[in-house]
Amino acid sequence: MTATPPPAIRLDRLRKEFTGTPPVVAVDDVDLDVGQGEFFSMLGPSGSGKTTVLRMIAGFEEPTAGRIELDGEDVTRRQPYDRDVNTVFQDYALFPHMTVADNVEYGLLVKKVSRAERRTRVAEALEQVRLGDHGARRPSQLSGGQRQRVALARALVNRPRVLLLDEPLGALDLKLREQMQVELKAIQRDVGITFLFVTHDQEEALTLSDRIAVFNAGRIEQVGTAREVYESPRTAFVAGFVGTSNLLTGEAARTVVRRDGSFAIRPEKLVVTPVDGTAGAAAPGRPTATGVLEEVVYGGPTTRFVVQLDAGARLTALEQNSGSGSAGAALRRGDRVRLDWDPEHVIDVPETTSK
Amino acid sequence: MRRRLGLAALLTPPMLWLVVAYLGALVAIFATAFWTTDPFTNLVVRTFTLDNFRELRTPTYLGIIGRTILIAALVTVLCVVVAVPFAFFMARVAPARSRSLLLALVLVPLWASYLVKAYAWRAMLQPSGVLESVFGTTPGYGFAAVVITLSYLWLPYMILPVYAAFERLPESHLEASADLGGRPWTTFRRVVVPALWPAIAAGSVFTFSLSLGDYIAVSIVGGKLQVLGTAVLQNITLDLPFAAALGTSSVVVMVLYLLAVRRAGALENL
């Protein structure tokens, strides 16, 4: 045996069925290893099972079958209070009758940590989330972002092996959310604790994570780094859920890609050129397709073009508004355009996962 | 101008009610408590005196006041002890379908006549009544019978606010406590009870005040037991000013109780 440490979290054929007629399979035999100190995201639409997996790791739901290991230790049948993990809840779940400091102190108090140590650790934790002078307030006197940070401090103060975060930024507005993402990442680097992060926001997952597991219908479709999941999605679902989907299937695939199957092309890899006789031909070797411009959406740094191809499919192209040279400024709805791309950016995506 | 007239028309009836009927009656009680009666004619004599309140401080009446407060306190405690587990079951354990049925079961006794319920308990408590034939013993009429009957009568007023508090308590708070290492008992003591506290206080205002003023149930199942309510009743024809003083004392007790509850920070939920 080598001396490699066991994974922080190991899920072994984890399964959860909810009773009903017929029973609902929320989590369908999931296997997953999360490494020590990783920032790991579980990404998927609502109902894909990612939150149920998180709740089983926390101990709030009992698995129907399978095993959960933390640092190589089987915790499948343990109560939440006997597991060395802490959770940041979606609604924060701060105790309203306690002050901020009492909330943060709670975990240490029930674990009978000495008063002196409690005081230092609570102060440290509040300092870490930049709420050092808010300890005496009530949760109801804080803003959403501040409550979020209290929830984080309340979990981190216990120095768990794994921190579970259940869509913790979901209730925040966009600006605050982006700010908290940066902060969350910095805190994670700082404390070095494994973070398991649940989100349905693909951009958030791509920004924050060392690795991502993409969930669909109770299964994991793909596990990989942000770059792997985005640049080389293994299934049509991953291609569609992570980033804007540009799928070519059936007849359209045969005409445009000249092969049978399903293919995806990321919008930013497509180049839009007007077809008005003035533009030159595409660079030799680059595949092209023509169509009608259906929609031009100006979005600040980028412009989004929706093109209805003559071959049938509809593709979205994204172009940087980098200067006067960009084609976007001149194009109008209804114009005929040509799309061209580098063949290596065409991703082969099987329609269904192999079981 | 028209708006002002409209506002006046809207507010006059309730203001009249509040000032004349409600505060007026209260002021009349307070004022009467400082008058006296002519011992021969039993008519009220309108001269200021503190005699009524001096008489309240005799052992007999202090005993009655103390006994009434004790009954009200016991009834309140008994209602809490029964209502908390029951409300917990209703809000957290019972399937959603049977919740409305349970709620109806709690409410139905409120719609039945108070007298019928008190007499039902009289029948249950009597020798060879239901209690004796089932359990082999009965407390008989008296102190215990009054506490049991009043607890039965006012229980819904405790169950309803506690049930609402359980409903409002988010599951995630219980999960958060367990997640942070709190075992069930710790969670109950540190998270559940503080969340229920305002509701219990609100319910106790009802159970305590209703018990404090009751005289009907006492006269039905209390045997010879004397409480504030029965004392007021006995004095009302013979010595109205003294009856008013007795009434004032129950108002004072209730005000003190409300102040204590307010200090516990629980009146916002009333």
pLDDT bin (cut points 50, 70, 90) of residue A243 is confident
Q: Which residues contact A271 (CB under 8 A, 6 or more apart)?
A: A317, A319, A339, A340, A341
> What is the average pLDDT across A254-283?
79
Give residue A355's pLDDT.
Answer: 40
A250 at the B interface (CB within 8 A)? no
Answer yes or no: are the C-beta atoms of A26 and A52 closer than 8 Å.
yes
Phi and psi of A212, rounded to 5°?
A: -130, 140
**Cα B132 to Cα A43: distance, rounded to the nearest angstrom:** 66
The domain spans of chain A are 9-241, 250-348
List CB contacts (< 8 A) between B197 and chain A.
97
Check if the beta carbon of residue A320 is closer than 8 Å to that of residue A335. Answer: no
Domain boundaries, chain B: 54-269
Shortest alpha-carbon distance between residue B108 and chain A (Å): 33
Alpha helices in A137-287 (DSSP H): 144-156, 174-191, 202-208, 226-231, 236-241, 250-256
Q: Does residue B58 belong to the interface with chain A, where contact is any CB pair within 8 Å? A: no
pLDDT tens track for A41-76? 999 999 899 999 999 999 999 999 999 999 999 999
Contact A227, A214 (CB under 8 A): no
Q: What is the pLDDT of residue A354?
A: 42
pLDDT band at A352; cut points 50, 70, 90: low
Residue tagged 């908390």 (tokens): B84
**CA distance, residue A108 to nearest chain B CA (Å):** 8
Which one of A93, A95, A106 has the shortest CB-CB distance to B175?
A: A93
Q: Does residue A167 sit at the B interface (CB-CB below 8 Å)? A: no
B205: pLDDT confidence band, cut at 50, 70 and 90? very high
- Contacts of residue A154 in chain B, CB cutoff 8 Å? 180
Instruction: Show residues of chain A in contact with B175, CB under 8 Å.
Output: 58, 60, 80, 87, 89, 93
Give mean pLDDT, residues A126-137.
92
Residue-wise pLDDT for A317-346, tens only, equals: 998 887 655 555 678 888 888 888 888 888
Asked if residue A1 has pLDDT above 60, the reply is no
What superfamily in CATH does domain A9-241 come from?
Answer: P-loop containing nucleotide triphosphate hydrolases (3.40.50.300)
- Chain B residue with minimal CA distance to A79? B178
Phi and psi at B13, nearest 5°, equal: -60, -50
**Best to test chain B binding among A84, A97, A152, A154 (most B CBs inside 10 Å):** A97
How many Cα neighbours within 13 Å face the side chain of B226?
A: 13
B270 touches chain A (CB under 8 A): no
Task: Establish, for the pair of chains A and B, how many residue pairs have beta carbons separated by less than 8 Å.
Answer: 63
The closest of B270, B269, B254 to B73, measured between CA atoms, is: B254
ipTM for the complex?
0.84
CB nearest B181 (choices: A60, A95, A111): A111
Of A97, A106, A98, A192, the closest CA to residue A155 belongs to A106
| Kind plus residue range of the DSSP H or E element containing B63 | helix B59-88
**Statement: B54-269 belongs to CATH 1.10.3720.10:** yes
Is the CB of B168 inside 8 Å of chain A's CB atoms?
no
B162: closest CA of chain A, how far (Å): 17
Cα–Cα distance measured from residue B190 to residue B243, given in angstroms and rounded to the nearest whole number: 45
Q: Which two tokens stand for residue A199?
A: 């989100």
Q: DSSP readout, B83-144?
A: HHHHHHIIIIIS-HHHHHHHHHHHHHHHHS-HHHHHHHHHHHHSTTSHHHHHHS----SSHH
Check whether A279 has a pLDDT greater than 80. no
Contact criterion met (CB < 8 Å) for B183 and A154: no
Residue B79 contacts A where some CB pair is shorter than 8 Å: no
Contacts (Cβ under 8 Å, ≥6 apart) of B230: B215, B218, B219, B222
Contact with chain B for residue A93, Cβ under 8 A: yes
Q: Into which CATH architecture does domain A250-348 fall?
A: Beta Barrel (2.40)
User: With an 8 Å Cβ cutoff, is A18 touching chain B?
Assistant: no
pTM to 2 decimals?
0.80
Q: Which of A118-122, A214-218, A283-287, B121-125 has the lowest mean pLDDT?
A: A283-287
Could you tell me if B145 lies within 8 Å of chain A, comparing CB atoms? no
CA A11 to chain centre: 19
Residue A286 has pLDDT above 90, yes or no: no
Q: Which of B179, B182, B194 sits opposite A86 (nearest CB)?
A: B179
pLDDT digits (tens, 9 = 90+) for B139-156: 889 999 999 999 999 999
Q: Per-residue pLDDT tens for B29-61?
A: 889 999 888 878 878 888 888 888 998 889 999
B149, two tokens? 């009957």
Asked if A19 reaches chain B (Cβ–Cβ under 8 Å), the answer is no
Residue of B nearest to A159 (CA): B180
HSE at residue B93, side-chain half, CA atoms within 13 A, is: 8
Residue pair A331/A337 in contact (Cβ under 8 Å)? The answer is yes
- Interface touch B172/A89, C-beta < 8 Å: yes
Whether pLDDT at A282 is above 70: no
Q: Is A98 exposed, middle or buried (0-12, 13-18, 19+ CB in 10 A)?
A: middle
Q: Measuring CA to CA, how many Å separate B208 from each of A81, A304, B68, B78, B114?
A: 39, 69, 10, 11, 17
Q: Model confidence over B226-269: pLDDT tens digits?
A: 999 999 998 888 888 999 999 999 999 999 999 988 887 665 54
Q: What is d(CA A213, CA A203) in angstroms, rounded to the nearest whole number?
A: 14
